[in-house]
Amino acid sequence: MESMLVAPALREIRRILRSAEEGERKLAQLSGLTSSQVLVLEEVNTGTDVTPSEVAGALQLSQASITNIADRLEDLGLLSRRRGERDKRQVRLTLTEQGKQMLTDAPELLQNRLSTGFASLASWEQAMMLTALGRVADLLDGDIDVATPRLIVPSPRMA
């Protein structure tokens, strides 16, 4: 017999997906960018002369993904690349003035709203939510482009 909680669980997943889709749609309409592109711009903006590998590590994306995103942002005139002064093999990323303005004008990302709300939760609730979300992703065979292995968090009862 199917659990009575399957339908409410599916409804909550649809709510999450709808929020993500609406956020992406709003971002695309207002800026023409994806959330991944804005996240890269934000990460490049946090430092001076950051490398693609530093951005990849901070965003937990592969180097190849960052390279593709940086290519597009450079084509749009939002990001510039230059060779390192000491090590010419190293590439440094910086925002252009247009890129800085784009960040100022872009709407708040769903990821940032989630980060703020998640940080306000008690650590036991964060761990519980992370475990539950991981299980949902496993049930859906969810796999994303992540440069680092997924973190396994013990349940609060086991800690």
Name the least confident of 20-29, 32-41, 84-93. 84-93
Indicate the pLDDT class of residue 48, thresholds 50, 70 and 90: confident
Q: List Cα–Cα distances, 32 to 43, 77, 80, 147, 159, in angstroms.
A: 18, 13, 18, 26, 45
Largest CA distance in the chain: 66
pTM: 0.72
Per-domain boundaries in the chain = 31-107
Q: What share of the chain is helix, strand, coil (3-state, %, to 5)?
A: 60, 5, 35
In tens, the pLDDT along 111-121 reads 888 999 999 99
Task: State which amino acid sits at residue 54.
Answer: E
Q: Please name the fold of domain 31-107.
A: Arc Repressor Mutant, subunit A (1.10.10)
Residue 152 pLDDT > 70, yes or no? no
Which residues does 7 contact at the CB level (< 8 Å), separation at least 6? none
Give the per-residue pLDDT at 155.
37
